[in-house]
């Protein structure tokens, strides 16, 4: 009838952009989200900030999503076998995520930036041909948070959340990826961050 208020509520659209940590946690995340939140994620590992910057317009078109939960970093700090520098230096990483954030601001979506997850340096570097260093992770996370805040992003400190857990019970033997319990912990933390950010997005005056 004319003037009648529609009972149809548009579903809240979320994009997940991240590496294999995101991919492995996604099933545990999805089961925790309310039914009015739709989640999209690329079917591939988004890898480094360089790769995210290359594909972000494809993965997150303007106007397509209400919220973007984003992380990159673990692939940036990786030293491939035989290389004496990481995939992305800290300055390159900062420039890449600045460009990513600048684009995402144009999309109108709320941005949630997640810090990169902890790993066991000795176990990881002993199990892999590539290398990662905890000091780099600390520096890249710190720089990313500074930049994210400058762009008005909400910070999901996933690193801190997991660091409070007994990580030995959550890691796979490579000391980087997570077992089922670890993926469940990551998914639960992501779901909590998304639900909270979605509520703030829907009721901006509540902040």
Is 112 domain-assigned?
Answer: yes
Percent of the chain residues topping a pLDDT of 90: 92
* CATH code of residue 84: 3.40.50.1110
Q: Tell me the whole-structure pTM to 2 decimals.
A: 0.93
Residues listed for the chain: 207
Q: How many CB atoms are closer than 10 A to CB 71? A: 26
Is 96 domain-assigned?
Answer: yes
Tell me whether strands 110-114 and 67-70 are parallel, antiparallel or unpaired: parallel
Kindly give the residue spans of alpha helices, DSSP state H, lying in 128-175. Answer: 134-150, 158-163
Q: How confident is the model at residue 204 (pLDDT cuts 50, 70, 90)?
A: low
In this model, does residue 205 exceed pLDDT 90?
no
Q: Give the pLDDT confidence of 146-199 residue by residue, as tens digits.
A: 999 999 999 999 999 999 999 999 999 999 999 999 999 999 999 999 999 999
The parent domain of residue 141 ranges over: 12-206
How many domains does the chain contain in total?
A: 1
Q: How many CB atoms are closer than 10 A to CB 200? A: 15
159: its two tokens: 């690193």
Tell me the C-alpha distance between 78 and 151, whole Å. 26
Is 6 domain-assigned?
Answer: no
Q: How confident is the model at residue 202 (pLDDT cuts 50, 70, 90)?
A: confident
In this model, does residue 9 exceed pLDDT 80?
no
Quick one: how far is CA 22 from the chain centroid?
7
Q: So what's the pLDDT on residue 82? A: 93
Tell me the C-alpha distance between 195 and 207, whole Å. 14
Tell me the C-alpha distance between 138 and 37, whole Å. 32
Q: Give the pLDDT confidence of 66-81 residue by residue, as tens digits.
A: 999 999 999 999 999 9
Is 3 domain-assigned?
Answer: no
DSSP code of residue 36: T
Question: Residue 175: left (phi > 0), alpha (psi -120 to 50), or beta?
Answer: left
């Amino acid at each position: 009838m004319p003037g009648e208020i529609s009972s149809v509520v548009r579903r809240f659209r979320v994009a997940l952009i991240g590496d294999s940590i995101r991919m492995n946690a996604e099933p545990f995340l999805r089961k925790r989200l309310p039914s009015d939140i739709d989640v999209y994620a690329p079917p591939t590992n988004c890898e480094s900030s360089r790769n995210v910057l290359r594909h972000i317009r494809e993965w997150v078109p303007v106007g397509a999503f209400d919220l973007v939960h984003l992380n990159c970093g673990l692939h940036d700090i990786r030293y491939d076998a035989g290389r004496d520098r990481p995939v992305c230096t800290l300055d390159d990483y900062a420039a890449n995520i600045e460009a990513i954030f600048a684009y995402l601001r144009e999309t109108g979506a709320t941005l949630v930036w997640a810090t990169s997850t902890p790993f066991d340096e000795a176990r990881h570097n002993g199990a892999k041909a590539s290398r990662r260093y905890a000091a780099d992770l600390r520096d890249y996370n710190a720089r990313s948070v500074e930049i994210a805040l400058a762009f008005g992003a909400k910070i999901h400190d996933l690193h801190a959340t997991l660091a409070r857990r007994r990580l030995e019970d959550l890691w796979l033997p490579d000391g980087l990826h997570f077992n089922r319990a670890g993926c469940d912990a990551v998914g639960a933390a992501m779901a909590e961050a998304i639900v909270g950010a979605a509520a703030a997005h829907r009721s901006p005056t509540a902040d």
